[in-house]
Every structure is written in structure tokens, then in C-alpha cells.
Structure 1
Amino acid sequence: MLWFLVQLVLATTILLFAALASWYEGSAILDNSWEWNYSTPFSQLFHVEIQNTNQISQLDHFVYAAKFQPTFPLIMMISGLYLLLLIGYQLFKSHKRRFVYLLSILAGTLFILSYSVRNSPTTGGQIFFYFGLLSGILCITGVVIIYFIFKRSAKELIG
């Protein structure tokens, strides 16, 4: 239990630090009005056309950072996924089938997110495409490994 708490605190600290750094780096969008049409999907949900910096959502700072300064957003994504898997494993360690479902849903979500940025012309978009693809493949690999271990242990119990 102590090891779980240490990992939880460390991953949360890294996530928060990376989020603050990403938000700060993404604040450069306020100075780049030519990018407002391309890097403000959250603001465009609420405003037809962005006229000034007050209309830009704080979430769009993360989008801009992910496109042009992807280091901290990637660290944020890695630590967030790690936290999700850590908590999911802790919750479902006695229910392997539920953990397999979690991994499957996570893999599907990662594939969909990866697919949504597949044609991005920015370096950050390409990095997130490959990260999502690789993470989804790793989740599916985990599902297959757990399935075969679960299947083998069930056979040993029966026969």
C-alpha cells in the first residue's frame, strides 16, 4: 500500500507540474492572433469568431502547447495515463476481467484520439499521433497477456 501511495503522489506531482508548464507555454497563443482560427477548438465552441484574447479558453492553451511545444503536454499525458492505470489496477486487482475492460476502453480511446490528429502538420500533432497509437497497442498487448494468464490459471484450477 505504501508503494502505491508513493507512486500516486509522484505521478500526481509530475502531472500537476507538467500541466502548469503546458499552460504557461500555451499562453503564447494570446500573442499569435494568426493561430486563433487553428488552435482554439474550445473557444470556438462558445464564440463564432475570436476577436480578442478574453475570448480564448484556458483549455486552448494546452492545445497550442501540444501543437508547438509538445514536451510538457506529452509528460502530462504519460503521467495521466500512468495515474489512470495505477488507480485502475489498484481498484480491479482482484477483478482481472474489469481491469481488462478498462484497458480495452483505454486502448479504444487512445486509438480514436490518435486517429483524430493523424493528419496534423505540426510536430506536436505527429508526436501525439504516434504516442496514442503506441499506447493503444500497449494496452491491447496488456489485454492479451492478462487474458492468456487468466485463461491458463482457470484451466489449472479446473483440471
Structure 2
Amino acid sequence: MNYKSLILSILALFVLMTGVFSLYEGSALNDNPEQWKYTAVISQMMNEGEVLEKSEISQLDFFLYAIKFRPFFPASMIVFILLMLFVAVFPFSHRKTSWPVMGVYFLVFIVSLTVQPAEQGTALFLAALRYSSLLLCLSAFILIKSPTLFNGKVVNE
């Protein structure tokens, strides 16, 4: 198993773990009926109306609740997913196509700056998204400028 497969499998494990932790943190929505009107948006669209029972709440609404009120694990999950994409795609791209990849990460950073969060948890989530996309953009830029890896192999050729 080469180092890239090992890194991808470890990142996939982290994505899975943070996803489970996010669902657990978001399941607190069941105990907070006052938030059903504001956070159970997907369930309201699926049920075509107001959510009246715990059983009507969608699993995706748990993620929304976790993003709003306990954003550590959802933000970590997004960071790990972005890292997985970066590790899986970037070495196969050539220098000419690396600039658009870096541009997409930079665009995510700029868009996250324009969003004004209404709650504290959303602000922390957006801050994590900003800094992770900025770090990925910076690492893409460094790899574009210096295409050698740890052992001297050329990555982008």
C-alpha cells in the first residue's frame, strides 16, 4: 500500500467518524421542538408542511442542527472531504489545470467571506471553512511552484 492510499483511507475513516459524531450532535434536535420550525427545513419540504413528531425529522436536518449549534464535527468533516479531494485529484493534474483547482478553493474562500452568519455556531463553521479552503489554496500554490515531493519525484508531469 503506497502512502497515497494510506492517506486516503485514513481521511475516509476520519470523514466517517466525524459524520457519525455530527449525526449524534445533531440528534439533539429531537429534544428541542422549538427549533423544528427553523432547523428541520428538509423535513418540512418532504412532509409538505410543519413537522409535528420526532419521527418526521430527516437525518439531514440533524446535520443542519449540528452545523448551526455544534459546528466542530461538521466543519471537520468538510475539511477532511476537501483534503481527500485534494490528495486524490491534485497529483494527477498538470500544471495548466492546477490553476483552476486553486481558483476553486480560492472562490470557496471568497464566497465564505460574503456570507453573514446569524448564529454563533454558523460563524464558527464558516470560519473553519474559510481557513481550510485558504490552506488548501496555499498548498496548491506551493505544489504548482515546487513540483517535487519529499523523495524528489516530480508530481506534475
Same fold (TM over 0.5): yes
| Letter of the 2:30 counterpart | L
Asked which structure has the greater RCO (Cα within 8 Å, sep 6+), the reply is 2
Identity %: 26
3-state SS in 2 of match to 1:51: coil
Question: Residues 36-59 of structure 1, C-alpha deviation per residue, up to 9 Å, x if partnerless?
Answer: 122223223323322222322111
Describe how 1:1-159 pairs up with structure 2 within 5 A. 2-46=2-46, 47-92=48-93, 95-113=94-112, 115-116=114-115, 118-122=116-120, 124-142=121-139, 145=142
Task: Calculate the TM-score normalised by the size of structure 1.
Answer: 0.77
TM-superposed deviation, 1:23: 0.6
Give unpaired runs (5+ residues) of structure 1: 151-159
Task: Calculate the TM-score normalised by the size of structure 2.
Answer: 0.78
CA distance in 1, matches of 2:40, 2:109: 21
TM-superposed deviation, 1:142: 4.7
CA distance in 2, matches of 1:84, 1:69: 25
Give unpaired runs (5+ residues) of structure 2: 148-157
Superposed structure 1 runs of 4+ greater than 6 Å apart:
none
RMSD across aligned positions (CA): 2.4
With over 3 angstroms needed to count, the CA separation of the structure-2 counterparts of 1:63 and 1:11, relative to structure 1, is: same
